[in-house]
Amino acid sequence: MQSQKKPQSTLARCWTNPEPSTSLPSTATSSMSSDSENLEPNPNKRKRVRSSYIWEHGTKIICDDGSSRWKCIHCRHVLPVSSTSNQRYHLREIHKITDPEHHTDGQQTTLDVHILRPFRADVMRKLLVEYHIERRLPFLAIESPALQRLLEYLDPRSVKALTTANTLRADCLRYFVIAKNTIISILSSAISRIHLTWDLWTSPNFKAIIAITAHWTDENWKVQTALIAIREIEGDHDGENISHIVHAVLKEFKIVEQFGYFTGDNAGNNDTTLACLDRQIREEGGVGFDVAERRLRCFAHDMQIAVKGLLFGPTVTELETYEATANVSDEEKAEWMKMKWRAFGAIGKLHNIVKYIRISPKRRAGFKTVLQDLEKRFAKIPVMDNDTRWGSVAAMVEYGLEHRGGIDMYCREQAALKTDILSEDDWAELQIVSSTISATDITGYKDLGSIQKVDETRAIKK
């Protein structure tokens, strides 16, 4: 039975991966000539010794070199007798004969598949690279004795593909270069300009990181997206530093003259980045571009600003401003922030409650205990609103309404939350907020980037 071909991963599509053949080995498919075979004097005696049904459909022969073979009585096909898997496969696939004492669904056994498939160490090493990258494993994981025992159990030949941590690292870099060259080739055949988006954040180990994503229309008029670079930013997050990294990536992927539009939030450093990028391209003899035309605003970010204004009013900026003084303690600052949030009504109170619960493992565990006492099967931590995550306020409100009983009970047990206990009017206000957001589908804009259609009038290269 033919095996179904599994879809290749994203990484696998970047280089050639010939599928191992599922056909019988040459030693299993070759037939011996009648001149070189001698039938065993008494095959019936051997048949009684062997319990496998294959001997009811074949005889044992001795070749000129002294080796033993099994010869099919139906088609005179000759196979080795080191195991019965090849013979069982031959009888099942060619003559539709199966083991009468073993009823199966007709699928190949794991042993059949591995015996009949030739082993290639290079393919195995590539698959190990894919696995380590997909699971984000350390390079030293390749040297695990447990992994070696597992692979050796599945196929002793696979141990040949196991390498050291340094070799695995070299393999990853080699395949990265292959994948990168593939992306460069694909970008060169794009029928549109290459449009960019990028984002900046601070990693858990406090490194300033920028991720650059390319968007284009391929030769089949399909919109394509690929993350092409993740780089560390040295120094401040100003436009000059960002432009140097973006310009280097454009040259690295050979798309300086194909650069199209940039879509980003309203941060001022994005405007400066494009102006500096245009200057750098012109200084190196390039054509450059119209900064005002190529700078597009992220609609989802604009919608987030509108939603915050709708929910919190014109004083929303006060939440992000604190006039620090030298004599203010952290406790006083925290109390001042809670008071500011409380002034926004029910949403502000819910914000204070959620922040209080999430601030320490002990409080999170205590809240989970309350939910479990209320027979909540899945005790989830409250969802926190965030200034930059679109739809996070709506998610927090929906969580609060869903777990109203647990939140009320927890707040009554915590003296620090006495001022933020939600009344019946507060819960009614949260219900109105939730209904309003759902009716206008504001949260749906967080996925806007994945559903945008390309304007074909701007897609063609100029």
Based on C-alpha coordinates, what's the Rg of the chain? 34
Count the helices and strands in the chain (H runs, E runs).
19, 9
More confident residue, 43 or 223: 223
Could you say which DSSP state residue 13 is in? G
User: What tokens appear for 102 in the block?
Assistant: 């073993």
Could you say which DSSP state residue 106 is in? S
Model confidence at 95, in pLDDT bands (50, 70, 90)? confident
The domain limits of the chain are 7-19+119-188, 21-116, 194-297, 309-445
- What is the pLDDT, as a whole number, of residue 193? 95
Identify the CA nearest to 46 among candidates 31, 59, 33: 59
Please tell me the distance from the alpha carbon of residue 146 to that of residue 152, in angstroms, as a whole number: 10
Report phi then psi at 174, rounded to 5: -65, -45
What is the end-to-end Cα distance of the chain in Å, rounded?
53
Give the β-pairing of 194-202 and 259-264.
parallel
- What is the pLDDT, as a whole number, of residue 459? 37
Q: 72 with 97: CB under 8 angstroms?
A: no
Percent of the chain predicted with pLDDT > 90: 33
Please tell me the distance from the alpha carbon of residue 36 to that of residue 51, in angstroms, as a whole number: 27
Mean pLDDT rounded to a whole number for the chain: 77
Cross-strand partners of 297: 264
* Residue 326 burial (C-beta neighbours within 10 Å; 0-12, 13-18, 19+): exposed
Identify the CA nearest to 449 among candidates 267, 227, 232: 227
Q: 225 with 450: CB under 8 angstroms?
A: no
Identify the CA nearest to 304 among candidates 215, 213, 395, 429: 395
Question: How many alpha carbons fall within 13 Å on the CB side of residue 319?
Answer: 20
Please tell me the distance from the alpha carbon of residue 209 to that of residue 203, in angstroms, as a whole number: 7
Q: At how many degrees (to 10) do helices 346-358 and 404-413 cross? A: 70
- What is the pLDDT, as a whole number, of residue 117? 65
pTM recorded for the entire structure: 0.56
pLDDT digits (tens, 9 = 90+) for 195-209: 999 988 877 777 889
18-27, 229-238, 370-379, 380-389, range with the lowest pLDDT: 18-27
Annotate 43-70 with DSSP letters as a single string: HHHHHHH--SGGGGSEEEEEETTS-EEE
- What is the pLDDT, as a whole number, of residue 42? 46
Annotate 312-372 with DSSP letters as a single string: H-GGGGGGG-----TT--HHHHHHHHHHHHHTTTHHHHHHHHHHHHHTSHHHHHHHHHHHH
More confident residue, 461 or 287: 287
- What is the pLDDT, as a whole number, of residue 283? 94
- What is the pLDDT, as a whole number, of residue 6? 47
Give the β-pairing of 37-39 and 194-202.
unpaired
Sheet of 68-72, strands arranged across: 37-39, 58-63, 68-72, 78-80
Annotate 428-462 with DSSP letters as a single string: HHHHHHHHHHHHHT-GGGGGHHHHPPP-HHHHS--
Average pLDDT on 3-11 reads: 45
Q: 6 with 12: CB under 8 angstroms?
A: no
- What is the pLDDT, as a whole number, of residue 316? 61
Handedness of CA 316, 317, 323, 328 (dihedral sign): positive
- What is the pLDDT, as a whole number, of residue 277? 95
- Please report where in the chains the tokens 């900064």 appear, as a residue: 291
pLDDT digits (tens, 9 = 90+) for 115-170: 446 778 888 899 999 999 999 999 999 999 999 899 888 888 888 788 899 999 99
Please tell me the distance from the alpha carbon of residue 303 to that of residue 127, in angstroms, as a whole number: 43
- Please report where in the chains the tokens 């494993």 appear, as a residue: 137
Please tell me the distance from the alpha carbon of residue 243 to that of residue 252, in angstroms, as a whole number: 14
